[in-house]
Amino acid sequence: MTDAPQERRTAVPGLTVTQDNEFFFTAAREGRLEIQRCTDCKALRHPPGPACPSCRSFEWDTVTASGRCTLHSWTVVHHPQDPAFTYPLAVGLVDLEEGTRLVADISGVDHADLRRGLELEVGFAEHAHGEVLPQLRPAGTTAGTRGGSR
Q: Which of 32, 46, 68, 137 binds another protein (CB under 8 A)?
A: 46
**Residue 76 makes contact with another protein by CB under 8 A:** yes
Identify the CA nearest to 12 among candidates 139, 126, 147, 150: 126
Using an 8 Å Cβ cutoff, are 120 and 139 in contact? yes
Neighbours of 20 (CB within 10 A): 15
**Residue 80 makes contact with another protein by CB under 8 A:** yes
**Residue 72 makes contact with another protein by CB under 8 A:** yes
Task: Compute the distance between CA of residue 88 and CA of residue 111 in angstroms, rounded to an integer.
Answer: 9
β-pair type (68-77, 60-64) = unpaired
Task: Compute the distance between CA of residue 90 and CA of residue 46 in angstroms, rounded to an integer.
Answer: 21
**Residue 104 makes contact with another protein by CB under 8 A:** yes
**Residue 74 makes contact with another protein by CB under 8 A:** yes
Tell me how far, at minimum, the Cβ of 29 lies from another protein, in Å.
13
Size of the site for another protein (CB under 8 A): 37
- Give the interface with another protein as residue ranges (CB under 8 A): 11-16, 18, 21, 46-47, 53, 72-80, 82, 84-85, 88-89, 91, 93, 100-101, 103-105, 116, 127-128, 131, 133
